[in-house]
Amino acid sequence: MNAIISASELENELADGNPPVLLDVRWQLSTAKAAGAAPFDGGAAYAAGHLPGAVFVDLDRELASAPGGRGRHPLPDVAEFGAAMRRAGVSSGRPVVVYDGGQGWAAARAWWLLRWTGHPNVRVLDGGLPAWEAALSTDVPAPAEGDFTPEPGAAGLLDADGAAALARSGLLLDARAGERYRGEVEPIDRVGGHIPGAVSAPTTDNVAADGRFRPADELRARFKALGATEDDEVGVYCGSGVSGAHEVLALAVAGIPAALYVGSWSEWSSDPGRPVAVGPDPQ
């Protein structure tokens, strides 16, 4: 099954007798806002207009636990995540389509979590809300309670030790911007740099100018050049397990399974005892 869906395909499915559950996961990284501006409010953006029938899901509260020693967006409590998904109408036997404001990172986080907890049919709207040309709605749906029961482990998950080992024995990709990987700047976490052995692979290079993913063959060629094929053990990390999920999604589009280190750099760099590499080379 394809991990992404186009806006035209989604329109057709919504007109069918068994339309997918729609989840609106609009979110922005807090440091991306202009200085002095109010934090982005995904709920307010949803209220101003969303895909008809979509339910808003809050990334910080429902797709992550509180920030702390496990990173800025650690895994949510599984029971609480399951309850949030059921409130949104998610059931195991019904497809789910997730979208965000166009960047794709937040939608990919929801996609990854649902896959990791065993949902068999989840896709991301390619290009997000900007790709949707039909009318939006301000009606807030009241979906029937879903029956989804999360069963973690269906998709790859790495912890800090697993990420370090994979950087030595397989391929660990760093999905952050190159300047953060190199340690030239670090706007959020304690220190800049990367996990020793990790390869720089900014997730922004996986999409075209309009925010849609590049064709699968282009993505396969990109990842092959970085050392990844469907036969390799591949892992991904980022700052806090959000943009890294987007890279895992891009790898899935390319037909390459990959695990996600959810704690990512925000967890790794919080421990002064963990090694840090800087510069353009993995080591």
Q: Which amino acid, residue 14?
A: L
Q: Which DSSP string do the residues of 252-266 spell out, in sequence order? A: HHTT---EEESSHHH
125, two tokens: 């709207």
> How far apart (Å, rounded) are the C-alpha atoms in residues 178 and 173?
12
Closest-CA residue to 247 (of 131, 104, 119)? 104
């510069």: which residue's tokens?
A: 279
238 an active-site residue?
yes
Walk me through the domains of the chain, giving residue ranges and CATH numbers: 4-131 (3.40.250.10), 157-268 (3.40.250.10)
Strand boundaries in the chain, DSSP class E: 4-5, 21-24, 55-56, 96-99, 122-125, 157-158, 171-174, 199-200, 234-237, 259-261
Has this prediction a pTM greater than 0.85?
A: yes
Label the pairing between strands 21-24 and 157-158. unpaired
Q: How far apart are the C-alpha atoms of 148 and 196, rounded to whole Å?
A: 39
Choice among 238, 251, 253, 262 that is catalytic? 238
pLDDT at position 133 is 93
Q: What is the pLDDT along the chain (283 residues), one digit of tens a residue?
A: 799 999 999 999 999 888 999 999 999 886 544 455 678 899 999 999 999 999 999 999 999 999 999 999 999 999 999 999 999 999 999 999 999 999 999 999 999 999 999 999 999 999 999 999 999 999 999 999 999 999 998 779 999 999 999 999 999 999 999 999 999 999 999 999 999 999 999 999 999 999 999 999 999 999 999 999 888 899 999 999 999 999 999 999 999 999 999 999 999 999 999 999 999 999 8
Q: Which two tokens stand for residue 43?
A: 């709920």
